[in-house]
Structure 1
Amino acid sequence: MAAPDPAPQLGTLSWLPAVDRLDLLGAPVAAAVPTLSAPVWVAEIDDDAADTAAFTEAYSVPLAASANCVVVAARRSGETTMAACLVLATTRADVNGLVRRHLGARKASFAPQDVVVAESGMAYGGITPVGLPASWPVLVDAAVAASELVVIGSGTRGSKLAVPGAVLAGLPGAEVLDGLGQPIG
């Protein structure tokens, strides 16, 4: 029997195998974690530190080791497509450029919070690409896909996941896009 993968050393957090602590995850995330292609890790955090800036400060996790998931509503001819965009926290998603064109939409904007929460079954501030509805495309920036490990939401505000970039790139409906994440500034 192979030895379990060692826990990552990311910030001041204690990381545990996510399959051992499904209780820390949002329901759709807990259902999806056992199906992932490699082990992922979970760490419990304070709900008030769920937002990226507060999280990196509170737990000393480098901003470059975190990824943000934003949900976009893309519209064309009266039809709306929801899509998740995953970019490093040091960048912002190119919603009005690359995302809009990639989805063939006339208009793309951040999806309304209440709609995202209701349709994903996840808490705002904990939205993650793991466990999203199958009909939602998951657009993953190439820099995220190439990362050894990134910290993302867990479906709740009370924990974070550490996931290999290759696992995120291999999620159902995932497409890796160069230039999805644009420099902030």
Structure 2
Amino acid sequence: MTDWTIAGTLTPVPAAEHPELLAPPVVEALASLDGPVGVVEIDPELADTAEFCEAYSSPLSASANCVVVAGKRGGSVRHAAALVRATTRADVNNVLRRELDVRKASFAPMDEAVRLTGMAYGGITPLGLPGDWPVFVDRAVAEAAELVVGSGIRGSKLLVTGATLAALPGAEVIDGLAR
């Protein structure tokens, strides 16, 4: 197991050995991943990135957020995920709109994102998303040695490398995705 320096006061364990700390789609996705993936159990009330970082002494710069976006084209809705560092914001109106090839892109409504991903809001992660969704990864995320991301539930966080995220099915590394 990797010595995750970003875990702060938490003790990481191998994610594959602790499916009880993961949403079912994440458990399924782990089986096909290359690269180390750790998991840490947290208080679900502290799942939001800023609260997590403060409570567990994990650097905010090591966290990445996964957002679900949606846009319409020709009467059909297109969904995607965008992964950016927590210290930045996804450029939904320009970069993601162009990548999805839609007239307007926006964050998917919470209930829709939860229903489509099978994950808890505030815990959505790029691991285990629907197979036909593109996963747009900001270059700064892809190049990170260690990152904290959601686990599909609010009671834990995953520890991964940027390379692991960039190699996910459907992943595309995008320059300038975050601002």
TM-score between both structures, scaled by the size of structure 2: 0.97
Matched residue SS, 1:132: coil
Letter in 2 for 1:79: S
Kept in 2, the 8 Å contact 1:142–1:176? The answer is yes
Aligned-pair CA distance for 1:20? 1.1
Which of 51, 55, 71 is the matching residue for 1:54?
51
- AA of the residue aligned to 2:70: A
Query: Counterpart of 1:127 in 2: which secondary structure?
Result: coil
Structure 1 residue ranges, 4+ long, deviating more than 6 angstroms after superposition? none
1:173 maps to which residue? Answer: 170
1:102-117 to 2 correspondence within 5 Å? 102-117=99-114
How far, CA to CA, are the matches of 1:20 and 1:177 in structure 2?
32
**Which residue of the partner structure matches residue 74 of structure 2?**
77
Equivalent position amino acid for 2:145 in 1: E
Query: In the alignment, is the contact (CA less than 8 A) between 1:7 and 1:16 conserved in 2?
Result: no
The equivalent of 2:133 in structure 1 is 136
Structure 1 residues 112-123: aligned runs within 5 Å: 112-123=109-120
Tell me the SS of whatever aligns to 1:126: coil
Deviation at 1:77, TM superposition (A): 2.1
% identical aligned pairs: 60
Once residues 31 and 55 of structure 2 are traced to their aligned partners in structure 1, the CA distance between those partners, rounded to angstroms, is: 29
SS at match of 2:131: coil
Contact 2:88 2:178 in 1 (8 A): yes
Q: Which amino acid aligns with 1:6?
A: T
Counterpart contact for 1:92–1:181, Cα < 8 Å? yes
Equivalent residue runs for 1:1-185 within 5 Å: 5-10=1-6, 11-182=8-179
Asked whether the equivalents of residues 138 and 178 of structure 2 are also in contact (C-alpha less than 8 Å), the reply is yes
CA deviations 1:54-110 (Å, max 9, x no partner) are: 111111111110000000002122111110000000100000010001111101000
Post-superposition offset of 1:45: 0.3
Letter in 1 for 2:84: V
Aligned length: 178
* CA-to-aligned-CA distance 1:22-76 (integer Å, 9 cap, x gap): 1100000011112111120000000000001111111111111000000000212
Over residues 122-172 of structure 1, what are the superposed CA-to-partner deviations in whole Å (9 max), with x where a residue is unaligned? 000100000000011100000000000110000000000001100100000
Distance 2:60 2:119 in 1: 23
TM-score, normalised by the number of residues in structure 1: 0.94
What CA distance in whole angstroms lies between the structure 2 residues aligned with 1:6 and 1:81? 36
Q: Which runs of 5+ in 1 are unaligned?
A: none
CA contact (8 A) 1:17 1:42 kept: yes
Letter in 2 for 1:126: G
Report which stretch shifted further, 150-159 or 10-19: 10-19
CA RMSD of aligned residues (A): 0.8
